[in-house]
A and B are shown apart, each in its own frame.
Chain A
Amino acid sequence: MSDLLEIKNVTKIFPLGGIIRKKYVTAVENVSLKIPEDKQVIITLAGESGSGKTTIANMVMGFIKPTSGEILFRGKNIWKMSKKERKRYRKEVQAVFQDPFESLNPFYKIRYVLMGPIKKLKLANSQSEADKLAREALLDVNLDPDEVLDKYPHQLSGGQRQRVMLARVFLIKPKLLIADEPVSMIDVSLRADILKIIHNLEKEYKMSCLYITHDLSTAFSISNYIMILYLGSVTEEGDFETVVKDPKHPYVRMLINSIPLPNPRSRWKGRVKLQDIEIARLEKISGCKFHNRCPEAMPICSKEVPPLIDLNEHHKVACHLYTTT
């Protein structure tokens, strides 16, 4: 059985202005990821600014076309789908975005947000059925339909808006949810509500989730698999706990060590060394993208791109330190 979603060797290069000298930015380079059909997973796609994670999300959602490589949904390239297949894709893959205010058109009431997909994706056969679906969805996210349906987005709090977005997902019941920084703009003490909903979607609704974030601590609470991107390339991926306890890639090691822990007894040891070369993103970096910041760089690192190899069944890394010739 083919996978639910396969991101296959996807690369995305953006051209940047300039009539005379066109410049290019490689946002994503040769990234592959599989989301299985038969079991539910929450996979974290992690990275900092410039890592390309949002670009990947946009490609999976069909907003941007990959420069090379394919996005396959149940084996079929989403850019080669018929209109009917596309509609089916929309039913099975949905998203929640980072900014709950941006995602809602200030002009329309919440009712509109929920009725839209019901109508377009033909989720109900009558108006009464549609109403019922919408109300149930809101109840699923602990929102009171009578209170919320006729309100405008600006009348709700950030957390409530985000829950409306999730209600929309409950409505559609996709097989895959792309969550792009779903809680980063919500107060810390209110994030757990959203996380719990996503967790439930996995357990009860058999929904897989591609959780995209820069905040590993939050992702760790609900996800079991992580892929860490740096400037568009995969550096390390595998079982979340393994990667956190024993990071192999120098960038990942530096990253994990610098994540603040809410425990004064586990404080950072030593000091991190900051350099000025904080990413010249527009310049093409040859070989391993991290080599100019890597404390363990070897001559080969600036020449050849390290391949992604299996350290063991649940742990892969792309670093010349581990490629044995």
Chain B
Amino acid sequence: MSPPLLEVKNLKVYHGTRTLPVKAVDGVSFTMKEGEILGLAGESGCGKSTLATGLLKLITPPTYIAGGEVLYRGKDLLKMSEEELRSIRWKHIALLPQASMNALNPVMKIYNQIKDAMIFHKVSPKEKLENYIENLLRSVALSPRVADDYACELSGGMKQRTIIAMAVATRPDLIIADEPTSALDVVVQRGVLELLIDFKEKINSSVLLISHDIAILSEVADRLAIIYAGKIMEIQDIFDIFNEPLHPYTQGLIASVPSLEKKRIPKSIPGLPPDLRNPPPGCRFYPRCPYVMDICKKKEPEFKEIEPGKFVACHKYS
């Protein structure tokens, strides 16, 4: 059996400070197969953005990889040379970082920016470059005329779609999208998310969709992973997780999301996320957990698969 598309094993990414390091990602493990959308849900300070950049080793000091493996089709990305990594980035794994619409040079024509990116990553299509770029823009529902525009002339949604176009230009196996739709209008948001679904369905790409918005994840994801304080608390199939959320944090999160389907005031989770320089001993969630037991304060729960496809890190299930 061939190795999975992506296998992350106990990844640790820390930020160095003058005192203690901030353990932004502290032992994260998950697997992704081809043609699936894995949603990663977490709130501010949970480490999801650090994870996104850490997976491709696109981190800068004082952030550093403190351990773990990121296996892309069996090969550890973290152990590769920069040269090797660069050939994988963008061509096989594309990253859409947060606020990526700001990554476009405002005074350069779109055509040239795409061209530059392709040159940098050594992508040379077989067809004429102009046609290639035209088709690229069409694939994200942008008119080819956009190639002649400057980035500052485009709206937020159009910029985001351009970035997506650039990211999928090489038909990567995996797209890591970090909050790709924040700051976009609702209808544009839907359009962008549907683009990601299209990529999954048409070219069998996988998407790691990172967001704080449970609602959009429930619209497009096949499976959902919940990250809290640098650790993954639960991973389940999307229907299962809404049906029967296992981890108390997941339950709290779902209960705190309002919905147009039912009129009710959502429930907050009391307390605040922990300081990642000095996380509490035992389970990171215990100060806020309604089901806390003695063992939760002392021993960290193991992240394990309690049933096929259902992963959770909670003493309730051990």
A–B contact with Cβ pairs below 8 Å: the answer is: yes
Binding site for B on A (CB under 8 A): 48-49, 157, 159, 187-193, 195-196, 199, 214, 216-218, 220-222, 240-241, 244, 254-256, 258-268, 271-276, 278-279
Q: Is the CB of B190 within 8 A of A260?
A: yes
Taken together as a complex, chains A and B put the C-alpha atoms of A184 and B239 apart, in Å, by 27
**New A-B contacts (8) at CB < 8 Å, excluding given A217-B260, A264-B242:** A188-B214, A192-B268, A254-B187, A261-B218, A263-B259, A272-B187, A273-B141, A279-B155
Q: Which of A48, A187, A265 has the most CB of B within 10 A?
A: A187
Which among A220, A273, A276 is the interface contact of B260 at CB below 8 angstroms? Answer: A220
With A192-B256, A216-B260, A264-B238 known as contacts, the answer to whether A187 contacts B219 (CB < 8 A) is: no
Q: Which residues of B contact A157 (CB under 8 A)?
A: 272
Q: Can you spell out 11 A-B residue pairs with CB atoms less than 8 angstroms apart? A: A189-B268, A196-B265, A216-B260, A217-B215, A217-B257, A221-B266, A260-B189, A262-B215, A263-B242, A267-B219, A273-B141
The residues in B between 227 and 271 inclusive whose CB is less than 8 angstroms from any CB of A are 238-239, 242, 252-254, 256-261, 263-269
Nearest 3 pairs of A and B residues by beta carbon: A260-B215, A192-B268, A274-B191
Which among B216, B256, B264 is the interface contact of A260 at CB below 8 angstroms? Answer: B216
Taken together as a complex, chains A and B put the C-alpha atoms of A216 and B155 apart, in Å, by 22
Q: Which of A189, A259, A260 has the most CB of B within 10 A?
A: A189
Q: Which residues of B contact A220 (CB under 8 A)?
A: 258-260, 263
Q: Which residues of A contact B258 (CB under 8 A)?
A: 217-218, 220-221
Binding site for A on B (CB under 8 A): 43-44, 141-143, 145-146, 155-158, 161, 185-191, 194, 212-216, 218-219, 238-239, 242, 252-254, 256-261, 263-269, 272
Q: Which residues of A contact B146 (CB under 8 A)?
A: 276
Taken together as a complex, chains A and B put the C-alpha atoms of A159 and B142 apart, in Å, by 39
Q: Is the CB of B239 within 8 A of A188?
A: no
Q: Which residues of B contact A267 (CB under 8 A)?
A: 218-219
Q: Is the CB of B190 within 8 A of A241?
A: no
With A218-B258, A221-B266 known as contacts, the answer to whether A265 contacts B239 (CB < 8 A) is: yes
Q: Is the CB of B256 within 8 A of A189?
A: yes
The closest CB in chain A to the CB of B220 belongs to A267
Shortest beta-carbon distance, B305 to chain A, in Å? Answer: 21
Q: Which residues of A contact B191 (CB under 8 A)?
A: 272-274
Q: Which of A188, A240, A254, A268 has the most CB of B within 10 A?
A: A188
Q: Which residues of A contact B188 (CB under 8 A)?
A: 274, 278
Taken together as a complex, chains A and B put the C-alpha atoms of A195 and B187 apart, in Å, by 25
Taken together as a complex, chains A and B put the C-alpha atoms of A100 and B147 apart, in Å, by 39
Shortest beta-carbon distance, B301 to chain A, in Å? Answer: 20
Taken together as a complex, chains A and B put the C-alpha atoms of A261 and B156 apart, in Å, by 23
With A221-B263, A256-B260, A263-B218 known as contacts, the answer to whether A193 contacts B268 (CB < 8 A) is: yes
Shortest beta-carbon distance, B46 to chain A, in Å? Answer: 10
Q: Is the CB of B218 within 8 A of A262?
A: yes
With A189-B253, A220-B258, A263-B259 known as contacts, the answer to whether A258 contacts B265 (CB < 8 A) is: no
Shortest beta-carbon distance, B290 to chain A, in Å? Answer: 13
